[in-house]
Structure 1
Amino acid sequence: MIKSADPFSAAEPTGNTMTTLDPNTAGFIDGNPVATFVLDMNHRVVSWNKACEVLTGIPAASLIGTSDQWRAFYPTKRPVMADLILDGMNEADLRYFYQEKFHPSTLIPGACEAEDFFPDFGNGGCWLFFTAAPIRDAEGNVVGAIETLQDFTERRKAEAALRDREALLAQILQSTTVATVVIDQEHQIIHWNKACEALTGQQAESAMVTRDHWRPPSPEGRPFLSDLVLEGKIEDDFHRYFCGDLRQSTLIKGAYETEANWKNDRGEEKWLYLTAAPLISSNGELIGAIETMQDVTERRLAEESLRRSEERYRELSITDAMTQLYNTRHFSAMVGKEIERAERYRRPLTLLIADVDNFKAINDTYGHSEGDRVLVGLAEVIRLSLRSTDSAYRYGGEEFAILMPEVMVRDGAKLAERVRKQFGDRQFEMPDGTVLRSTVSIGVTQFQPGDDTKSLFCRADDGMYQAKRRGKNCVVIVEPPSGP
């Protein structure tokens, strides 16, 4: 604000004479790089500085001493803000001319400021930020008004361009069929697209500007992957909240991806493929994170179905169809592995070979289907007798093998005796009403260093034949031969 005892000359203009400022004050205003003009109490221009000439294109000489200041800004005559200041800054008048674009200055009492577009100003219009304030003398009386103008066109264009870019970004996010969420530095949601609404069932209005973006995807309160990216400690915290593998993106620096299981409010289970990446400003500052979510449930179900199918086929390939024990092919593979493990770690391994007694007579008397029932019965007894680490096989027609890792031969013989007794107690009712009881002969031996599949099997098999020769329905232990 300019404050002097008498900033205007006392003389009234006559002819071509114009009221002028005090030379010192006039020089200050004229040298001001901000476009500035001053009106006296009669609304006449008493100062129109060089910056104002450059901004408006109107020379000071054509306006000094006149009340034509409006010509620089408007096509028809109307007051400028400095005029309204001189008239007492009536709010109704300010609102009439400037609508809601004005507001009182927070710096200068009695001053007002506004920002407006002037379509007839310059080439193609211009945005101006202008302030007007009263000029008071030493006694505080209003003796004039001063107005400053700043061209904000470029800033407005930049703001418009920024809004356009933000609108374009929002449109891109809304248009993509991939569920996308963006959070700011405070973990608050600033974008939640329609695909996100469709996937989660949560509308954008209820998600925006909240930290509740884990609901409904994770009712238990698990953060999103983007939260962990934003915190910068994703590799430390990932396994606190997620199962599965965390992978670094091969496309975006600092981005990660994973697959997570999610159950919605209806109890439906889904698998989501998640990607999260940091958002970096032009000056390298972390300003947020973006996350995408894709429903890969169908793919996961297909993969699981394929896995189960492959597992089933694998089981079928190593399983005897009738007894549901492992078959000879699998026995050949497993006995070699168990021998190798026992050799390497010097651990015990016991092998049992069992054979149904008089099985040919059963087939000849009652038929093969009834004979098969007897084999299935023995398989059931064996299966119920095994530990979780043991495995049983149908090795031949009526011959069975049992591998018992970490078991000494005497303990293996106890299991063999249990199988022998329980099988002997079973009754098989034949079609003619006859009740059949069958027995089994079992040979037992233990691995010794230097054994291979053949030597280990032959000792157990020899034990089974010894049991046959001893009258059948018994268990025979064959100790490994003593060393030299």
Structure 2
Amino acid sequence: MESKPSYAELEQRVKELENELQTKEQFFNNILNQIPDIIFVKDDSHRWVMLNEASCNLLGHPRDQLIGKTDYDFHSKEQADVFWEKDNEVLYSESLTVNEELITNAQGVVRTILTKKSVFKDDNGNKFIVGISHDITEKKQAEQALADSQRRLADIIEFLPDPTCVIDIEGRVVAWNRAMEKLSGIKKEEILGKGDYAYSVPFYGEPRPTLIDLVLKPDRDYEKQYLSIKEINGDLFASVAFSSSLGIDGRYFEGTAGKLYDSEGNVVGAIETVRDITAMKRAEQERERLISELQDALANVRTLKGLLPICSACKKIRDDKGYWTRIEAYIKRHAEVDFSHSLCPECAEKLYGHEDWFKKREDKPKK
């Protein structure tokens, strides 16, 4: 039969257990204090019963000055009210809550934290709020900077003078600026988010790939439908295309399109701008027509160069086939000019000089 341990032995065992517990507690506290996130425990009266080193650094006070105190002792009433409300929410629901909160640190700088809270019950049924907060200030600032950048980019696209369209990698419209609205007659509210080549209908009368699609996925069959198309710097295309769906006689457009990349270099979409060059193309066509007509006229005029056989008496001209033709008919045929007939002073005097009416006329031809 084993003998009962003596008082001294029991006292020694208690000390060993206390040392073991203290060692484990110290080990646990060291782990908590090494965690850069804010970790805290509150009782059901919102008093701190445990805080790690990150919590103390945020508040700017040693731990012994914080234990037993509440948020109202160190934060503004506005911030403390929010923390108190969120604490009650988790106490009453006894479920995990996640909230973004604003907190002012010891330096007076407002930080944004993401806080997760849950309820722990001890063996006596006492409730404790266990929370961990991660500082997301830099992340929120980066998100805001990105949002600001995207908004500025959207504003730039919106007010570009040239009609501009942007699609994502799935071919859905994500930007449709004012100039594009005016050109196509379609409001952005009617087209944003749509895919399946909906943006091509105003120009071609049917959904089909356009220049912006050819940037992402080349298609030689469709490329042939453009008047000209070329590649610049590996991924930028330029072309001149004719649209029969816009205007009474159709419109000519010059377009440029390029790929859009994210920060990691992945293709995320494409952008296209178009410019109405109908007036310029019509002017070019009119100029070419006039040049052609002028060239034809010059070619006809050149046929009058050389030696022309002409009758000394009647002034008829012999053509290449040997026929005699009146001089005015010959010149009209080869130079596209018309004649009007009259009498020079010498001929008028010769023919009618002996007539009284001719002698008396005031508008007789001058010699």
Separation in structure 2 between the aligned mates of residue 291 and residue 218 of structure 1, nearest angstrom: 16
Provide closer, same or farther for how the CA distance between residues 281 and 45 of structure 1 changes in structure 2, counting only shifts above 3 A.
same
Matched, 1:293 2:297: no
2:212 and 2:106 map into 1 onto residues whose CA distance is 48
Q: Following the alignment from structure 1 to structure 2, what is the Cα–Cα distance between the partners of residues 179 and 81?
A: 51
CA distance in 2, matches of 1:135, 1:29: 17
- The counterpart of 1:227, out of the listed 213, 218, 221, is 213
Aligned pair in 2 of structure 1 residues 314, 138: CA closer, same or farther (>3 Å)?
A: farther
Give the counterpart of 2:57 among 37, 41, 54: 54
Inter-partner Cα distance in structure 2 for 1:206 and 1:214: 14
Query: What are the Cα deviations for residues 228-262 of structure 1, in whole angstroms up to 9, with x where unaligned?
Result: 1012x25x34435x23111223xx54101010111
The separation in 2 between residues aligned to 1:142 and 1:245, in whole angstroms, is: 79
SS in 2 for 1:80: helix
CA contact (8 A) 1:81 1:147 kept: no
CA contact (8 A) 2:46 2:84 kept: no
- Residue 134 (structure 1) aligns with: 119
Query: Separation in 1 of the partners of 2:170 and 2:106?
Result: 43
Q: Note the C-alpha offset of 1:282.
A: 2.8
Please point out which of 71, 79, 84 is paired with 2:88.
84
Shift of 1:168: 0.8
1:389-413 per-position Cα deviation (integer Å, ceiling 9, x unaligned): xxxxx7xxxxxxxxxxxxxxxxxxx
The equivalent of 2:100 in structure 1 is 115
- Indicate yes or no: 2:339 matched with 1:355: no
Tell me, yes or no, if the aligned pair for 1:200 and 1:264 is still in contact at 8 Å.
Answer: no
Name the residue aligned to 1:177. Answer: 161
| Letter of the structure 2 residue corresponding to residue 327 of structure 1 | T
Contact 1:279-1:289 within 8 A present in 2 as well? yes
Q: Is the 8 A contact 1:74 1:121 kept in 2?
A: no
TM-superposed deviation, 1:285:
1.2
Cα distance in 2, alignment partners of residues 49 and 283 from structure 1: 38
Shift of 1:122: 4.5
- The alignment status of 1:327 with 2:303, answered yes or no, reads yes
Change (3 A) 1:42 1:280: closer
| TM-score, with length taken from structure 1 | 0.55
Determine if contact 2:204/2:243 at 8 Å carries over to the other structure: yes
For the 8 Å contact 2:261–2:269, the answer to whether it is kept is yes
Task: Give the TM-score of the pair, scaled to structure 2.
Answer: 0.71
Pick from 292, 298, 316: which aligns with 1:311?
292
Q: CA deviation at 1:116?
A: 2.6
Distance 1:119 1:238 in 2: 60
Q: CA RMSD in A?
A: 3.1
**Partners of 1:245 and 1:87 in 2: how far apart?**
70
1:190 corresponds to 2:153: no
Determine if contact 1:81/1:132 at 8 Å carries over to the other structure.
Answer: no
- State the distance in 1 between where 2:74 and 2:282 align: 73
Q: Does 1:271 align with 2:252?
A: yes
Hey, what's the Cα distance between the residues in 2 that align with 1:238 and 1:36? 62
Residue identity over aligned pairs, in percent, reads 22
Aligned to 1:177, the other structure's residue is in SS state: coil
Q: 1:268 to 1:152 in 2, by over 3 A?
A: farther
Query: What amino acid is the match of 1:132?
Result: K
The alignment status of 1:165 with 2:141, answered yes or no, reads no
Q: Could you say which structure has the higher helix fraction?
A: 2
Structure 2 distance, partners of 1:280, 1:138, is 57
CA contact (8 A) 1:39 1:82 kept: no
Q: Does 1:147 align with 2:131?
A: yes
Measured against aligned partners, the alpha-carbon deviations of 1:185-209 in whole angstroms (never above 9, x if no partner) come to 1111111111111111111111211
Of 38, 42, 45, the residue aligned with 2:41 is 38
Specify the alignment match of 1:436 in structure 2: none
Match of 2:230 among 234, 238, 247: 247
User: Gaps spanning 5+ residues in structure 1: where?
Assistant: 1-19, 90-108, 321-325, 330-352, 377-393, 395-484
For residues 54-112 of structure 1, the C-alpha deviation after alignment (integer angstroms, 9 at most, x for no partner) is 23323321111x242344443465353663156414xxxxxxxxxxxxxxxxxxx7110
Write the distance in 2 (CA, Å) between the matches of 1:248 and 1:87.
Answer: 64
Pairwise CA distance, 1:311: 0.6
- Say if 1:220 and 1:297 are closer, same or farther in 2 by CA, change over 3 A: same
2:277 and 2:294 map into 1 onto residues whose CA distance is 25
Find the counterpart in structure 2 of residue 217 from structure 1: 203
